[in-house]
Amino acid sequence: MKNKLAQRIRDLPPYLFARIDELKSEQRARGVDLIDLGIGDPDLPTPPNVVAALQEAAANPAHHRYPSYSGMLEFRKAAVDFCARRFGLDLDPATEALALIGSKEGIAHFPVAFVDPGDLVLVPDPGYPVYGTGTKFCGGEVHVMPLRRENGFLPDLSAIPKDVAERAKVMWINYPNNPTAALAPRSFYENVVAFAKEHDVIVASDVAYSEMYYDDERPMSFLEVPGAKDVGIEFHSLSKTYNMTGWRVGFAVGNRDLISGLGKVKTNVDSGVFEAVQRAATEALAGDQSSVEDMRRIYRERRDVLCKGLMSLGHEVLAPKATFYCLVAVPKGYSSLEFAAKLLTEAGIVATPATGFGAWGEGYVRLTLCADKSRLAEVVERLKRC
């Protein structure tokens, strides 16, 4: 039949959360008040100054036409200025920055520019599924880099077989990490740069959660390490920092050849980001940053309510220093999926089995902090009753 799905789609792994979705529907049909901590979608509003900037720009007919593929220079300059203030990076907005329709879009399209059929890509496990899916859509092969708790959820580069390292075209890294909430020290990034130069590997760094930290340890950029720009590109998102998940805007910075390659893909598959959204994103990056500190304070308070509450009940919790995720170890005798189903059916709590991010996520469920403190306290109370 001609309406048969393409092989690349048929080769996708089964949808792990299908059973969870069925249970959610069943519980809602029964009138159960679900507390959904499964999806990392901020419940906080976009800052008012950003909304106002969009409203003003959207009313300007000059922004109603096709935008540029690479993004408005004003937005790209705001992006590199942000990187200069935050990370001390020296970037050229004209050649080393690119506007994205959300960082997910850039991450998914990056392999189109650099991965040929048969090329090998190093992907963290557990990790954001798009790294592997984007690779497979291009005919590339995935080599999993396990993220083990005993190693701080950092990949052990020395454990990568020599023949794999020599074949590798791209390495994906993501810190602060989803789903483990781990941070990476400078020494790790230095090792990544050395590995990449030794084996001629492109490094693609996803820093969507760089501003979502709670203590004194501020996450750093991979590009801060000397030599990193020779081998790497970094993907930034406004979604979590400014509560703009629905706005679909982000940016990539780094090596100009990598930026150019991704830009060539985008000229063929999309028409850029709505300029009114870019104006608003410019205001987010360059304007008043007090909302970001408020966001960190709110999530810090939520983290303490949820994690301390779960720990008081005897649960083993990996409280985050960054991101708005916390991992909870599943009790003995349960798989990640089984425990997530139990939380849903017996307590009305929606959690994500960490195996949704790869096989090495087994043994954990992920909870988000995207709910008010009172709802997180209710999570603790429900589990106490169970």
Percent of residues, the chain, with pLDDT higher than 70: 98
Q: Is there a contact between 133 and 295 (Cβ–Cβ < 8 Å)?
A: no
CATH 3.90.1150.10 residue spans of the chain? 7-45+290-385
Q: How far apart are CA 208 and CA 264, in angstroms?
A: 23
CATH 3.40.640.10 residue spans of the chain? 48-286
Superfamily of 7-45+290-385 according to CATH:
Aspartate Aminotransferase, domain 1 (3.90.1150.10)
Q: Which residue has the higher pLDDT, 255 or 25?
A: 255
The amino acid at residue 319 is A
CATH (one of 3.40.1010.20, 3.40.50.1820, 3.40.640.10, 3.30.9.30) for 48-286: 3.40.640.10
pLDDT digits 0-9 by tens, 278-336: 999 999 999 999 999 999 999 999 999 999 999 999 999 998 999 999 999 999 999 99
- pLDDT confidence of residue 22: 84
Residue 114 has pLDDT above 80, yes or no: yes
> If you count them, how many residues does the chain have?
386
Q: Is there a contact between 113 and 122 (Cβ–Cβ < 8 Å)?
A: no
Q: How far apart are CA 121 and CA 255, in angstroms?
A: 18
Burial of 258 (0-12, 13-18, 19+ CB in 10 A): buried
Residue 27 has pLDDT above 80, yes or no: yes
pLDDT digits 0-9 by tens, 207-238: 999 999 998 889 999 999 999 999 999 999 99
Q: How far apart are CA 153 and CA 147, in angstroms?
A: 4
pTM of the model: 0.95
